[in-house]
Amino acid sequence: MTEIILEVKGPIGLTVEAEAVCPHRLSGLAPGEIEAQLVWQGPAQLPLSDFFEVEVREGEGEVRIAIEGDASRIKRIGQGMRSGCIEIDGSCGMHLGEEMEGGSILVRGNAGSWAGMEMRGGLLEIEGDAGDHVGSAHRGSWRGMSGGEIRIGGSAKSQLGGGMIGGKISVARDVQNFCAIRQSGGLILVHGRAVRGVGAEMTGGVAAVLGGIERFSPGFVETGMEEDPVLGGEKRPGTFIRYCGDYAISKNPKGTLFVRG
C-alpha cells in the first residue's frame, strides 16, 4: 500500500476546496507532483504544498491518504473517490466523500455538512458528529445517496439522507430535523432521538428511530407492531410500531418508519 501523509501546516484562513485529495487522483504521482496538485482557495488555485506537508511512503497496491492536523476548513476531501482509503485524524470541512463510488473514508473527529452527498458506493465513517445534509441530494436534485454505507458515531444535524434512494446510514446518537426527507429507498437507522419531520415526503425505503421522535410527521399512518425486527442486518430488541407514509405527499406511499413502542 502506498501511504500519502498530508499534515495540515497551520491555521487556514479562507476555506480550501481540495478535491485533489483523493486516492485515485494522487495515485502514481511523485512527491513533487503531489505537492504541485492544485486546490482552490476562493478564486485562487494554489499548490497543495501551501497547506500541507507531504510525505509519501511508496508501496504496492491501493493508496491510503492520512490527513493529520485540523482539516476543518478543508472541503471536498475524497470527492468522487473510487478506491483506496482516506483517514482523517481530526475534523474536516464540508462535502467530505461527496459522490464517492468506492473505497473508504474514516474521520476521527467531526465532519462538516454535505458529507457523502449523492454517494454511490464505499464506506464513509465519521466517529464524531456530522453536520447537515449527510448523504443527501444536491440542491435542486431529487435523488441523494444511492449506495454504500455511512456510519456516524456521534449525532447528525438536519436533512440526513435527503432524497436517499439506496444504501445505508446509521447514526449512533441523535438527529435533528427532516431526517429521511424524500427518501425513496435504502435504510436509515437512528439509535438516538429525532426532533421533527422524520420521513417527510418519504415514498419508499425504511427509516427507524430507536430513541423516539419529538414531533411526529402528520402524514404517517400506523400499520402494525413488530417484535424484535431485523433492521440493517441486526435484530433490534423491543416492540416497534410500524408506520407507512408520507401520506402528505402521495396517496399511495411506500415508506416504512419504525419507532420503538
Binding site for another protein (CB under 8 A): 13-15, 40-44, 94, 113-114, 132-133, 139-140, 177-178, 181, 196-197, 200-201, 215-221, 246-251
Residue whose CB is less far from another protein, 167 or 245: 245
Gap between the Cα atoms of 135 and 116, Å rounded:
5
Residue whose CB is less far from another protein, 84 or 116: 116
Q: Which amino acid is at 31?
A: P
Residue whose CB is less far from another protein, 220 or 258: 220
Residues with Cβ within 8 Å of 13's Cβ and at least 6 positions away in sequence, in order, are 41
Q: How far is the CB of 135 from another protein (least distance, A)?
A: 15
Residue whose CB is less far from another protein, 4 or 51: 51
Q: How far is the CB of 99 from another protein (least distance, A)?
A: 14
Q: How far is the CB of 43 from another protein (least distance, A)?
A: 3
Q: How far is the CB of 237 from another protein (least distance, A)?
A: 25
Gap between the Cα atoms of 9 and 24, Å rounded:
23
> Cα–chain-centroid distance for residue 14?
24
Gap between the Cα atoms of 224 and 153, Å rounded:
30
φ, ψ for residue 136 (rounded to 5)? -95, -175
Q: State the Cα angle at 150 between 147 and 155, rounded to 5°.
A: 145
By DSSP bridging, strand 123-126 and strand 194-196 are unpaired
Gap between the Cα atoms of 159 and 114, Å rounded:
10
Residue whose CB is less far from another protein, 104 or 184: 184
Q: How far is the CB of 148 from another protein (least distance, A)?
A: 22
